[in-house]
Structure 1
Amino acid sequence: MVLAPVPLSDAQLRFDPHWLGPQEADMLLASLQHRLPWEVHRIRLFGREVDSPRLSCWIGDPDARYRYSGTLFEPHPWPEALRPLRERLQSTLGVEFNSVLANLYRDGSDAMGWHSDAEPELGPEPVIASVSLGATRRFALKHRDDPSRKLTLQLPHGSLLVMSGATQRHYRHALPRTARLIGPRINLTFRRILATAR
């Protein structure tokens, strides 16, 4: 299991498609899908509030509050199932993660639009560790200044993608809809919320 660099100019990406073993990934998917307090987050889009096209749960240490799209999210406490994963990521990456955004994509019609994880709470060069569980989905990146510079990755069950350095400053990313009949997917994006930015 090796986090291999993904070549992309102006970005720092590392990827392991088999970071979690199949049995561990299966157990984690089943536990989180049925035990997290999933909710529909309201987001601001083109000046109006709409329901996000997925279910979400913001989890973290008590002071890891996060403002996204005009809404301040208070963290749910860490579930027992995520504690070993958090510790393993911290050991692997040398980053003290204090929060994770869990997103549940129920089928191919649930999606995430183009955006960057560039909120002030994350700092200028955040490390975002993204663990995927369930159905394989397509993850797209596009350069802010030159849309011809783009990349698409397939994120399978148990994979880990790490975005760091200037990635969020130079690129936007998305999880597009698909017409294919696919099952649910859970994505866990571990982050560090900076105390100075809260």
Structure 2
Amino acid sequence: MLPGAVAVPLPEGELYLLPRFVADSEAAYLLDALSTELAWTRHRVRLFGREHLTPRLCAWYGDPGARYAYSGQALEPLPWPPALAGLRARLHTALGLAFNSVLCNLYRDGADSMGWHSDDEASLGPRPVIASLSLGATRRFALRHRARRYRSVTLALGNGDLLLMTGDTQTHWQHAVPSTRRPTAPRINLTFRAVGGAATLRK
């Protein structure tokens, strides 16, 4: 068991939640800083043969050569800014995880969302470890089994929460951040990953 982690029951997958991995005050500071400092843009993704702009803002950072391809686009990493580099070092120290890249998503309000998908790109390896850090407003994080969609799990991820997805999670499960009509403050989600499958999970 990871220090401070809660194992979330997930058949054919491994999911761990570390509530308040980052304290509220620091998380609030990071939200403000990253909202203005990162090179936010709307990526173009290809779905069912058509291109769409992502319903959120995105940015890709990483080591040189950590090129990431998904949904018909290829992302070249920008150099690590100090705030993201510090979080990567903290994950390595606390959890024994070595990441070389991070996908940043900014949900400006409840209308911004993430559609159903799995992080199962070949560049991430067969059983990727993904560390997902939430900053700002609490949003619903939904999972559904790829073959038996009646199997589902929903989590409310809050300010400073860290979610670890590992094992066969990406093989058997999809996840999404649904939109909501409720008034919702901004949220940033940082998904640290290892292009080339370099990350390992210390249990």
Tell me the TM-score range normalised by the shorter chain: over 0.9
| Residue of structure 2 equivalent to 1:19 | 21
One-letter identity of the residue aligned with 1:71: Q
Look up the SS of the partner of 1:154 in the other structure: strand
Q: Does residue 165 of structure 2 align to residue 163 of structure 1?
A: yes
- Per-residue deviation, 1:70: 1.1
Verify the 8 A CA contact 2:128 2:197 in the aligned structure 1.
Answer: no
Q: Alpha-carbon deviations, 1:53-112, whole Å to 9, x = none?
A: 000000000110000111110001101111221011112222210000000000000000
Gaps of 5+ in 1: none
The count of residues paired between Structure 1 and Structure 2 equals 196
Gaps of 5+ in 2: 199-203
TM-score calculated relative to the size of structure 1: 0.96
Look up the SS of the partner of 1:62 in the other structure: coil
| Residue of structure 1 equivalent to 2:128 | 126
| Residue of structure 2 equivalent to 1:48 | 50
Verify the 8 A CA contact 2:13 2:172 in the aligned structure 1.
Answer: yes
Look up the SS of the partner of 1:148 in the other structure: coil
Between the aligned partners of 2:103 and 2:22, the Cα distance in structure 1 is 18
| Residue of structure 1 equivalent to 2:93 | 91
- Per-residue deviation, 1:28: 0.7
Q: State the Cα RMSD in Å.
A: 1.3
| Residue of structure 1 equivalent to 2:187 | 185
Between the aligned partners of 1:195 and 1:117, the Cα distance in structure 2 is 12
Verify the 8 A CA contact 2:143 2:173 in the aligned structure 1.
Answer: yes
Q: Alpha-carbon deviations, 1:144-175, whole Å to 9, x = none?
A: 11112110000000000000000000000000
- Provide runs of 4+ in structure 1 moved above 6 Å: none
Q: Which moved more, 1:138-147 or 1:82-91?
A: 82-91
TM-score calculated relative to the size of structure 2: 0.94
- Per-residue deviation, 1:195: 7.9
| Residue of structure 1 equivalent to 2:59 | 57
